[in-house]
Amino acid sequence: MTIYKAPLADQRFTLFDLLGAEAILTQLQGGAEHGRDLLDAVLEEAGKLAEQVLAPTNWPGDQEGCHYDKATHTVTTPKGFKEAFKAFAEGGWAGLTAREAFGGQALPGVLGIATTELFQSGNLSWSLYPLLSEGACHAMELHGTEAQQHTYLKPIVEGRWTGTMCLTEPQAGSDLGLLKTRAEPNADGSYAISGTKIFISAGEHDLAENIVHLVLARLPDAPAGSRGISMFIVPKFKVNADGSLGARNSAYAGAIEHKMGIKGSATCVMNFDGAEGFLIGQPHKGLAAMFTMMNAARLSVGVQGLALAERAYQNSLNYARERLQGRALSGAKFPDKPADNLLVQPDVRRMLLTQRAFVESSRALLYYTALQTDIEARGADEATRKAAGELVAFLIPIAKGVVTELAQECTKEALQVYGGHGFIGENGMEQFVRDARIITLYEGTTGIQAADLLGRKILQLQGVGFRRFAGEIGAFCKAHAGDAKLAAFIAPLGAAVKQWGELTLALAQRVQASPEELGAAATDYLWYSGYVTLAYFLARSVAAAEAGAQGDAFKQAKRDTATFYFARILPRTLVHKAAIEAGVATLPDIA
């Protein structure tokens, strides 16, 4: 129905030319072998899996959806999902970035993000099964005992089992402090877990032999609120001492949701009825433990925005090239044909360039953030690791919040390029719009990302990450001040980053005087920050293209994209500035 070609050229440009990933990664602890050849080869293989195995299952999987059998509490995934998961597991993709001690390949996180982009473009619904596993693996890597890691983590890394993250309950969404699931100690040191979780991705399916649920629950003596939550491992099948599967645990899917999109992803109601579970990490510290892996999960959801936007863009560009309709305003461009193609229309080019600008700048932001996570984990010294960690903390809400919101605009514009044909199911565009809608909601809504950025990263942490990032942009502007090829971008970027600083300072003062100002400004502040951040990466991409070995057409395309963005998108910051300054007084109480 739709096409998909792995965007390897732009991925490579972003990794190696724009971000200098090879020089950075090979200097990191354990990174001597992470040179360009290796990364290139892995990307290429991931591209094949995405194009040949995953992409063809995307639309049929949406049409078929998942099936739930009430009698057996089992879920059947759409045709082709099982085979794709088998190919994924056999290719070693489940353990790409996991530690070697657990059977992983310990490859850089940024490569994991780049390959994830490809798999998510191929089939977003399918990609949620390995994504949730990755989250569970991170949690067990960081907080599990050696025995827990051996028993539950290794089979996931080997691609034999999958994992879930069971947080949400009917009354506890953004506010997990409200959760009620209980954990009663058993005599043998295990716990009996009882409660209902909703919206659990990959809670039940037929892709793997076993499912390891990571469940947030309360111990009997737990204090109320978010400080009284502990984390438990609850396997679908209990595991015998030799690692073989034992009895069925009392953790069953009670239903699957009928959703607007990602229909191939099983979103389950999970009933835990005295299920056997094991405490992971410290009692009452479960939420904090979940937060240690939240950055990785949020970054991956940001990548979902990029992945959908990329595939939607490819299709709309292709369609605009082939669809003949009307004539150019200045006279026929293809007089030998019955009509010109859509590309001759400036308004169609506007829609395409909007997508291209967001796709390419989002890719740079996401890969940059992922590279910082590698430096944070394996940088040469403490100061380097700390600095990278501050950048990650600051950029995550932008990478998740803004990129997922922009995916709404990109998929909408991509559909619009098709005209009425975009509204028709078989053409595949409406699926991108529907699938994209979830990504601004799960893993923290946009409102929660905005509150995190302004409340925690700017105010609580006193803007340490902001100052570091704004300083980096300032240094970039200074370094290219005399560069004629960048003249059109450096002055507006410098002005925008200066205004960003002033706005941040003024806002911090207002919030101190009245805390309600935080909530009133947060989302507009998120948008403002996003538009300036993406402008920086587009200006950097022009500089990198000019310095690189790419051909003239590639360089011109990068310049065109940045020119479009600086003239037509960056001014959106002014609207958000006005909204921020309007303050809470313009959001009166609603009776």
167, 299, 365, 395: which one contacts ligand FAD (CB under 6 A)? 167
Residue 11 or 201: the one with the smaller Cβ distance to ligand FAD is 201
56, 92, 283, 447: which one contacts ligand FAD (CB under 6 A)? 447
Binding range to ligand FAD, per CB under 6 A, among 82-90, 248-256, 346-354, 445-453: 445-453
Q: Is 438 in the site for ligand FAD (CB under 6 A)?
A: yes
Residue 216 or 388: the one with the smaller Cβ distance to ligand FAD is 216
Residue 438 or 486: the one with the smaller Cβ distance to ligand FAD is 438
DSSP-assigned states of every residue in 518-556: HHHHHHHHHHHHHHHHHHHHHHHHHHHHHHSS--HHHHH
Q: Is 451 in the site for ligand FAD (CB under 6 A)?
A: yes
The CA-CA-CA angle for residues 285, 286, 289, to 5°, reads 90
148, 292, 445, 499: which one contacts ligand FAD (CB under 6 A)? 445
Binding range to ligand FAD, per CB under 6 A, among 160-168, 187-195, 365-373, 406-414: 160-168
Strand partners of residue 72 = none
DSSP-assigned states of every residue in 217-235: EB-TTPPSGGGGBEEEEEE
CA 14 and chain centroid, separation = 17
Residue entry with tokens 């700017």: 458
Closest separation in Å from C-beta 62 to ligand FAD: 14
Active-site position among 134, 204, 443, 517: 443
* Alpha-carbon distances of 222 from 177, 179, 213, 215, rounded to whole Å: 11, 12, 21, 15
CB-count exposure of residue 165 (10 Å: 0-12, 13-18, 19+): buried
Closest separation in Å from C-beta 302 to ligand FAD: 15
114, 165, 414, 539: which one contacts ligand FAD (CB under 6 A)? 165
Residue 29 or 174: the one with the smaller Cβ distance to ligand FAD is 174
User: Is there a catalytic annotation at residue 443?
Assistant: yes
CA neighbor of 352 nearest in space, from 436, 405, 415: 415
Q: Is 174 in the site for ligand FAD (CB under 6 A)?
A: yes
Number of neighbours of residue 90 by Cβ within 10 angstroms:
10
14, 194, 201, 271: which one contacts ligand FAD (CB under 6 A)? 201
Residue 174 or 282: the one with the smaller Cβ distance to ligand FAD is 174
Residue 510, token pair as written in the block: 């207002």
Residue 289 or 538: the one with the smaller Cβ distance to ligand FAD is 289
Closest separation in Å from C-beta 99 to ligand FAD: 24
Q: Is 503 in the site for ligand FAD (CB under 6 A)?
A: no
Residue 19 or 200: the one with the smaller Cβ distance to ligand FAD is 200
Are 65 and 264 in contact by the 8 Å Cβ rule? The answer is yes
Strand partners of residue 521 = none
In angstroms, rounded to a whole number, what is the distance separating the alpha carbons of residues 372 and 367? Answer: 9
Closest separation in Å from C-beta 568 to ligand FAD: 29
The continuous run of DSSP H or E covering 117 comes out as helix 109-122
13, 272, 313, 442: which one contacts ligand FAD (CB under 6 A)? 442
**Per-residue DSSP letter, 397:** H
Residue 286, token pair as written in the block: 């479960």
28, 289, 448, 458: which one contacts ligand FAD (CB under 6 A)? 448
Q: Is 460 in the site for ligand FAD (CB under 6 A)?
A: no
In angstroms, rounded to a whole number, what is the distance separating the alpha carbons of residues 96 and 107? Answer: 6
Collapsing DSSP to helix, strand or coil, 280 comes out as strand
Q: Is 254 in the site for ligand FAD (CB under 6 A)?
A: no
Write out the binding residues for ligand FAD, residues 524-583 only, by CB under 6 A: none
Number of neighbours of residue 93 by Cβ within 10 angstroms:
22
Closest separation in Å from C-beta 170 to ligand FAD: 8
Helix axes 346-378, 516-547, angle to 10 degrees: 100
Binding range to ligand FAD, per CB under 6 A, among 66-74, 111-119, 446-454, 566-574: 446-454
Cα torsion 434, 440, 444, 448 to 10°: value is: -150
The phi and psi torsions of 220 (rounded to 5 degrees) equal -55, -35
Residue 122 or 264: the one with the smaller Cβ distance to ligand FAD is 264
CA neighbor of 133 nearest in space, from 107, 110, 174, 104: 104
Q: Is 94 in the site for ligand FAD (CB under 6 A)?
A: no
68, 85, 191, 199: which one contacts ligand FAD (CB under 6 A)? 199
The catalytic residues are: 443
Residues in contact with ligand FAD by the rule CB under 6 A: 132, 165-168, 173-174, 199-201, 259, 267, 438, 441-442, 445, 447-448, 451
